[in-house]
Structure 1
Amino acid sequence: MKTKLSKSLMFVSALAFTGIAGAQDSDQPVMVQIKRLSMDTALTIAKTAIDTCREQGVQVAVTVVDRGGHPQVVLRDVLAMDLSLEVSYRKAYTAMTFTSPTSSLEDRFTGPFSVGKVEKVLLSAGGVPIQASGETIGGVGVSGAPSGETDENCAMAGVAAVEMDLEMASF
């Protein structure tokens, strides 16, 4: 029993030592810095999208998700349908996940078992990724306008409102 225990301890020690030595020789950092949107920036994106749609006489819901796809800001205008909340979230999640406006994905996945059938993915215009220096840091989705094109224009206006700030903060 004592021999098995000491052999096991030696094996585990050897693995640990090898792992530590391997980590030191690697080019991988010990810690990774992750850029995230501040709440105020996410709120500016959402509020600008709402205001842009209001100027066109449309009331919508807007969701801004972080880089993990979690809702950071959710706004629904007074007369926007309840369903628009879920749809705006899915558009934001899809835009963030695919790092692409959702309008460019509408015809991409048409098979019966394609990725378009994944639970949170919605391949409908109105979602836009939020990027800083080429890195995706979130997504914004808008829902409730008579067309996905209008939804997407409002989402793009939201991102445009903070685009310069995001680029400057990246340095």
Structure 2
Amino acid sequence: MKSHAMSSRRARLMAGAALTAVALGGLGVYSANASSPAAPATTTVRTDASNKNLIQTTHLSIDAATRAAQAALDAAEKENQRVSVAVVDRNGNTVVTLRGDGAGPQSYESAEKKAFTAVSFNAPTSELVKRLANAPTLKDIPGTLFLGGGYPVTAKGAPIAGIGVAGAPSGDLDEKFAKAGADALGH
């Protein structure tokens, strides 16, 4: 009985692994890193062109997100600013956060919200603040923060990530540092 259960479990695991390999091969899933250090490293999932129910997505790799966050933090530290940095993916999920030494407790959450806002609207948050004059209810969208300091990362014009910085004395400085993070990816 014990031997049968073990062999049955092994068979299920082997079958599951085989199905996963076939599914991934059929969908053409692959990972690609940038060939140039200035270009963003992304992970792309290709879809089966014959299946209209599937879409293609592009995301920053964890390495690229970490480089961007560190570049933003380094830019702030060069100007003696204590900030937090967040990088979110296209879906607004946090990929990396760095809280600089001495950054205020509010900066962590603010950085995430600025990054989310930048990727959601594919625009720097300083530009989005200007839109509030014509559409004041934008600020009511959950998870957003319409203050300077968020910057989108794009690939072929489409948003793939957002970088948010918070903690400097002005949104202009926060956004300058967020842009430095995007620039580190060749944005």
* 1:35 positional shift: 0.7
Q: How does 1:37-52 map to 2 (within 5 A)?
A: 37-52=60-75
For residue 116 of structure 2, what is the aligned residue in structure 1? 93
Gaps of 5+ in 1: 1-26, 165-171
Structure 2 residue runs without a partner (length 5+): 1-49
Is 1:125 the counterpart of 2:148 in the alignment? yes
The 3-state SS of whatever aligns with 2:68 is: helix
Q: 1:75 aligns with which of 82, 98, 119?
A: 98
Matched residue SS, 2:80? coil
User: Separation in 2 of the partners of 1:84 and 1:152?
Assistant: 13
**Aligned-residue RMSD, C-alpha:** 2.0
Q: Contact conserved, 1:116 with 1:123, CA < 8 A, in 2?
A: yes
1:54 matched residue in structure 2: 77
Larger Rg: 1
Distance across 2 between alignment mates of 1:54 and 1:77: 8
The 2-side partners of 1:111 and 1:156 are apart by 26
- What amino acid does structure 1 have at the position aligned with 2:127? S
Q: TM-score, normalised by structure 1?
A: 0.76
CA deviation string 1:47-81 (max 9, x = no partner): 00000000001010000000000000010011001
What is the Cα deviation at residue 82 of structure 1? 1.2
TM-score in terms of structure 2 length: 0.70
Is the contact between residue 63 and residue 88 of structure 1 (CA under 8 Å) also seen in structure 2? Answer: yes
Higher relative contact order (CA 8 A, sep 6+): 1
Check conservation: 1:110, 1:116, Cα contact below 8 A.
Answer: no
Instruction: Call closer, same or farther: CA 1:131–1:113 in 2, change over 3 Å.
Output: closer
Which is worse superposed, 100-109 or 150-159? 100-109
Name segments (4+ residues, structure 1) moved above 4 Å: 110-113
Identity of aligned residues (%): 38
Aligned partner of 1:5 in structure 2 is: none
Quick one: structure 1 residues 163 and 117, their matched pair in 2 at CA, closer, same or farther if it must change by over 3 Å? same
In structure 2, relative to structure 1, the CA distance for the partners of 1:86 and 1:28 (3 Å cut) is: same
154 and 113 in structure 1: CA distance in 2 versus 1, 3 angstrom threshold: closer
Pick the structure with more strand per residue. Answer: 2
What is the aligned residue count?
Answer: 139
Q: Partner letter of residue 176 of structure 2?
A: N
Are 1:94 and 1:127, in contact at CA under 8 Å, matched by a contact in 2?
yes
Deviation per CA, 1:58-110: give whole Å up to 9, x if none.
01000000000000001001100111001001100000001000001113224
